[in-house]
Amino acid sequence: MSPVRPGRRVARILLICASLLAILAGCAAAVLRRDWTTAYAGYAPGGVFVEIPHGMPEGAIARVLEAQGVVRSALSFRVLALRQRHARLEAGEYHFDQPETPEQVFDTLAHGRIYLVSVTLPEGETMFGIADLLAAKGVTTRQEFLSAARSPALVADLAPGAPSLEGFLFPATYQFPRHQSGEKITEAMVRRFREAWAQSEAALPANESGAARIGPLKIVTLASLVEKETGVPEERALVASVFANRLHAGMALDCDPTVIYALILAGRYNGRLLLPDLRVDSPYNTYRRRGLPPGPIANPGEASLRASLEPAPGKWLYFVATGDGGHVFSRTLADHNRNVARYRKREAQLKRAARAHARGRSSP
């Protein structure tokens, strides 16, 4: 039997080592593949928020994900990321609330599907109400938002002289990440306002396009009064007509919501408007000051903007609430006084009926 040559022995050893390495690599690949396709959640019920700062390396991201219980192994996730060199993990805040595979987690980060909060701003809300809503949703703090909203810089070109962004924070549904800056939030709202303003102007008849020359600030201010005075769609143009006619005649607008806004600015509004409040000394008090207030008192929607750009024809000068959400309109003070007396009488009758009904229910 001839001895094995040294060169063949080395070759055989190398072949064995290569085979073992191939087997180990195959086993590692199988382990990794199983990990990448197996859903995992190592965090507490309710989910976890993960913040990925700009510029964080993928290795550090993998370690954060493991520490937060989003993936089982940082090493496994790092290898997965190395295999996907064409994709970049995006910065932002992510929310994980159900088991996901590392491949799904990677896809979420690669596509930047950050956690967003849905915020719906109702028509006629003030910037103070918006600040409270955003704070309650965790989007930003009240102070952060109001600090941005009090600066009119974003509308300086469109509405010179605007005292703030009040009126230009367009009512709509927005998607914001948590902890967003006040500047970015107001930028989004003003951008939507500009779109709505352009559409409202474009919708005007050709012979009415000059209405917009009154200026956006005055139109938006008028629209805010309309928005606060009525929630009935078909009444908006009529309310705008009353205010436009009173302005033309040099009459005071006598608009209760402007007094409420004055009290809000002074930190004195408690939810009720009393007769002495009508004497508050403020440029927003349209009982004491003729003309429009210096700026909007709320943020009107597109319908009120259009109504203010094109008020209803007619010589309406007065309106009074009917008690059911609507109003009755009149052209003369005599008609208005009769309407006021009629609806006050009706209101008194309803109150007496309600008290009588309450007494009847409480009797044995």
Are 135 and 176 spatial neighbours (Cβ–Cβ below 8 Å)? no
Residues 6 or more apart whose Cβ sits within 8 Å of residue 334: none
Gap between the Cα atoms of 53 and 109, Å rounded: 12
pLDDT recorded at residue 34: 86
Q: What is the pTM of this model?
A: 0.83
Gap between the Cα atoms of 356 and 360, Å rounded: 6
Mean pLDDT of the chain: 89
Burial of 55 (0-12, 13-18, 19+ CB in 10 A): exposed
48-110 CATH pick, 1.20.120.140, 2.40.170.20, 1.10.10.10, 3.30.1490.480? 3.30.1490.480
Are 175 and 183 spatial neighbours (Cβ–Cβ below 8 Å)? no
Above pLDDT 70, what percent of the chain?
84
pLDDT recorded at residue 210: 47
Are 159 and 214 spatial neighbours (Cβ–Cβ below 8 Å)? no
Gap between the Cα atoms of 80 and 245, Å rounded: 70
291 band by pLDDT with thresholds 50, 70 and 90: very high
Task: Calculate mean pLDDT across residues 111-132.
Answer: 97
Task: Calculate mean pLDDT across residues 127-147.
Answer: 97
pLDDT over 50 (residue 209): no
pLDDT recorded at residue 322: 86
Element (H, E) at 192: helix 182-202
Give pLDDT tens digits for 228-285: 999 899 999 999 999 999 999 999 999 999 999 999 999 999 999 999 999 999 999 9
Q: What does the DSSP 8-state code read for residue 259?
A: H
pLDDT recorded at residue 7: 65
Domain boundary assignment for the chain: 48-110, 127-331
